[in-house]
Structure 1
Amino acid sequence: MKKTIFFLSAILIATPHLYAQGNGIAGITEATDMVSSYFDPLTKLILAIGAVVGLIGGIKVYNKFSAGDPDTAKVASSWFGACIFLIVAATILRSFFL
């Protein structure tokens, strides 16, 4: 019985302090601003990676084409698809979060 009264009184004493914390809007706003500030450099980084991947892919496709490999079209389409994916992913990230 004493334990029940002790826990009940502890809960009653702690309850006003829990409400004093607020609803957390300031923290959520600060976190949103911080995450939003990272997305502009992140999308630029993704676009830069896409450019590098495109250059490397172009060189690989040129080497295969020059060597006369029959699977040049497959390699070219896969590298082109990777570059398009990176560009679209950067654009979608930017439109969702900024």
Structure 2
Amino acid sequence: MRVIAATMLLAITYQLAVAQDGVAGIQEANTKVRGYFDVGCNLMYAVGAILGLIGAVRVYQKWSNGHPDTGSTAAAWFGSCVFLVVVATVLKSFFGI
């Protein structure tokens, strides 16, 4: 009877120790992700700026060559840049980091 009680006590103690390590791991991951959040948002802004420059050159090339679909190309490039900036801004305001 004592052996069974000791075994159960050991199993419960082991489970509590493992559960505490899991909580500590989740908290550490949360801290690391929050640390990279601002860097990620700034990266999204930079990618949006680069896409804007590339898009401006591509639209100018189409416009100067007289392509009829210049307006739709400009809208697509502009929309992708606006999307990246809006996503980064919404993530910052939503998560409040």
TM-score range, shorter chain: 0.7 to 0.9
For 1:15, give the aligned amino acid. I
Q: Distance in 2 between matches of 1:67 and 1:73?
A: 13
Q: Distance in 2 between matches of 1:47 and 1:91?
A: 9
Which residue of structure 2 lines up, in the alignment, with residue 46 of structure 1? 44
Shift of 1:91: 1.1
Which residue of structure 2 lines up, in the alignment, with residue 90 of structure 1? 88
For 2:34, give the aligned amino acid. S
1:73-84 maps to which residues of 2 (within 5 A)? 73-84=71-82
Q: Distance in 1 between matches of 2:73 and 2:4?
A: 69
CA RMSD of aligned residues (A): 2.5
TM-score of the aligned structures, taking structure 2 as reference length: 0.79
Name stretches of at least 5 consecutive residues in structure 1 with no aligned partner. 1-5
For 2:94, give the aligned amino acid. F
TM-score of the aligned structures, taking structure 1 as reference length: 0.78
Larger radius of gyration: 1
Shift of 1:18: 2.1
